[in-house]
Structure 1
């Protein structure tokens, strides 16, 4: 099987639902406030939501960003774009993803780890919108 080596690596470092339902489309690094950051860009795969028929693709919603486990010396930021479809009545339809821990900008797995390790989920790791480039 000739699997994309980037997706093989993504399967090791990302939550399983990410690589099952999203494609890694871009990787970049930068530095912000003397902190190295790794940005992983993920687009939802073109799989229509269950229980719906006759849907037509309608692009993506605005990307969401979340912090995930650091990788080496890099703070990891996941940029996730969810797909949008339209039904026959023109109503937007999408899958309901629950990837972010409630009240945070952390992946569920990372938030659980922080809570177990620290006893709470710190808010200093929030992603400031002005620090993220939305350009692909």
Structure 2
């Protein structure tokens, strides 16, 4: 299977557009004790080295990664699905001062939660 096919399949499981900003760097599957699910599948994603567009015209440098953030997403075939997002930090020169910035993730994460927007909308609908 070629890389394009693999990415196409992954894009069906992941929140829309997330592969524009993240690379899949691994996954693991662990048995869990849960009433409905047998395993927890965790997909590890690392943010690509692309500065957020609003800082593109500034002087900047990569400043490493933040602690990964775990996001719960739709279950997949008897597996709870978690996404481990390893997000980048940047040093940006603004007004002659270096400030630390990172990308906003409101597009993928429901406000005030640790679940994907799509999954939060689904849960809200069935409630």
TM-score bracket, normalised by the shorter chain, equals 0.7 to 0.9
Give the corresponding residue for 2:109. Answer: 100
**Candidates 64, 69, 77, aligned match of 1:64:** 69
Question: For 1:80 and 1:3, how far apart are their aligned partners in 2?
Answer: 21
Q: Once superposed, which parts of structure 1, at least 4 consecutive aligned residues long, lie more than 4 Å away?
A: none
Task: Choose between structure 1 and 2: higher strand proportion.
Answer: 2
Give the superposed CA RMSD. 1.6
Q: Which runs of 5+ in 2 are unaligned?
A: none
Give the corresponding residue for 1:125. Answer: none
Aligned residue pairs total 117
Give the corresponding residue for 1:132. Answer: none
Deviations 1:95-135 (A, max 9, x none): 11112222322111001011112x2xxxxxxxxxxxxxxxx
* Residue 16 (structure 1) shift: 1.6
Q: Does 1:90 align with 2:93?
A: no
1:12 match: secondary structure: helix
More divergent stretch after superposition (98-107 vs 58-67): 98-107
> With structure 2 as the length reference, what TM-score do the two structures score?
0.83
Give the corresponding residue for 1:128. Answer: none
Q: Which runs of 5+ in 1 are unaligned?
A: 120-136
> With structure 1 as the length reference, what TM-score do the two structures score?
0.78
